[in-house]
Amino acid sequence: MRLPVQVPGLGGWSEDPAWASVYDWTVEHPRAGGLLWRLGVGSSLPMLYAASDEIGGQPAGARVLDIPSGGGVALRGLRPGQGVDYVAADISPAMLDRTMAAARHRGVADQVTPQVADVGDLPFDDASFDLVVSFTGLHCFPDPRRAVAEMTRVLRPGATITGSALCTDTGVRYEPMRRVGRAAGLIGPACATSDIVAWLDERGLREVTLQVSGAIAYFRAVRE
Ligand SMILES: C[S@@+](CC[C@H](N)C(=O)[O-])C[C@H]1O[C@@H](n2cnc3c(N)ncnc32)[C@H](O)[C@@H]1O
């Protein structure tokens, strides 16, 4: 349920509200941010970092889509000299600037192309990526089902999608945080864990797995 009022002055993600840089700071600081992360969403920040390891397994020449790239947290999985064509996409140009700053800091900027994009209407051809990563994203999108449809559309046969999302059925203790997020315009309608599995199934993906950690669900699936 969306609250009838929006907290004034914050704006949506594309307007780079103050919360966006606060959020990015937390994910980039494993100690202080990790504590806030554990208190806020009951999950471990290293689990987010570990989920990006899948990127490091891609061979030279592979094409990876990271949407939403945010401040570039998933770049932890990309190795200098790996030879991957890594497209970092986000609706917020300011977030993409943070991604590119992180890419330069990690020595992987030569592999990363920033692209402003709305996940609901991706400017990429069908079957054009070997891996799509979407961390902490689905709950921020206005139509998470359409986002899953778009992100799976661009997967090549045999390619993988992996990601995470704040879900609606991971515990009532997280409901106040979800309501504040919705009022601030940072969280959309979101979805339940069963929705993610159903949406991946309906797109014909196989090997669908989902693991809940606090308020967050981590999912992974492979395109036929
Ligand atoms: C919570 S952050 C997650 C970023 C990063 N993946 C992470 O785990 O730290 C959510 C991101 O979603 C982006 N976003 C929101 N709506 C979007 C949309 N419709 N299309 C693409 N990106 C969007 C925001 O700009 C923001 O960078």
Per-residue pLDDT of the chain (224 residues; tens, 9 = 90+): 333 344 444 568 888 888 888 889 999 999 999 999 999 999 999 999 999 999 999 999 999 999 999 999 999 999 999 999 999 999 999 999 999 999 999 999 999 999 999 999 999 999 999 999 999 999 999 999 999 999 999 999 999 999 999 999 999 999 998 998 898 888 999 999 999 999 999 999 999 999 999 999 999 999 99
Q: Where are the domains of the chain?
A: 13-223
Closest Cα partner for 195 from 147, 145, 158? 145
DSSP for 71-114, please give it.
TTGGGGGPPTT---EEEEEES-HHHHHHHHHHHHHTT-GGGEEE
Which amino acid is it at 61?
G
> What letter would DSSP give residue 209?
E
- If 0-12 CB within 10 Å is exposed, 13-18 middle and 19+ buried, where does residue 156 land? middle
Q: Which two tokens stand for residue 191?
A: 């979805």
What confidence score (pLDDT) does residue 11 get?
A: 65
How many beta carbons lie within 10 A of that of residue 180, not counting itself? Answer: 13
Give pLDDT, residue 74.
98
CB of 219 within 8 A of CB of 162?
Answer: yes
21, 23, 90, 136: residue to mutate for ligand 1 pocket, most atoms within 8 A of CB: 90
The rounded Å distance from CA 69 to ligand 1 centre is 6
Cα–Cα distance between 156 and 128 in angstroms, integer? 6
Residue tagged 């594309």 (tokens) = 14
50 C-alpha to ligand 1 centroid (Å): 19
**Pair 70, 50: CB distance under 8 Å:** no
Instruction: Please choose from 64, 92, 138 the residue to mutate so as to test ligand 1's pocket, defined by most ligand atoms within 8 A of CB.
Output: 92
For ligand 1, whether the C-beta of 92 sits within 6 Å is yes
Minimal-distance CA residue to ligand 1 atom 27: 70
141 Cβ inside 6 Å of ligand 1: yes
Asked if the 13-223 domain carries CATH number 3.40.50.150, the reply is yes
Amino acid at 180: V
Q: Ligand 1 pocket, 86 CB below 6 A?
A: no
The model's pTM is 0.94
Residue nearest to atom 23 of ligand 1 (CA): 91
Q: Could you tell me the distance, in angstroms and rounded to a whole number, from the CA of residue 205 to the centre of ligand 1?
A: 23
Label the pairing between strands 112-116 and 85-90. Answer: parallel
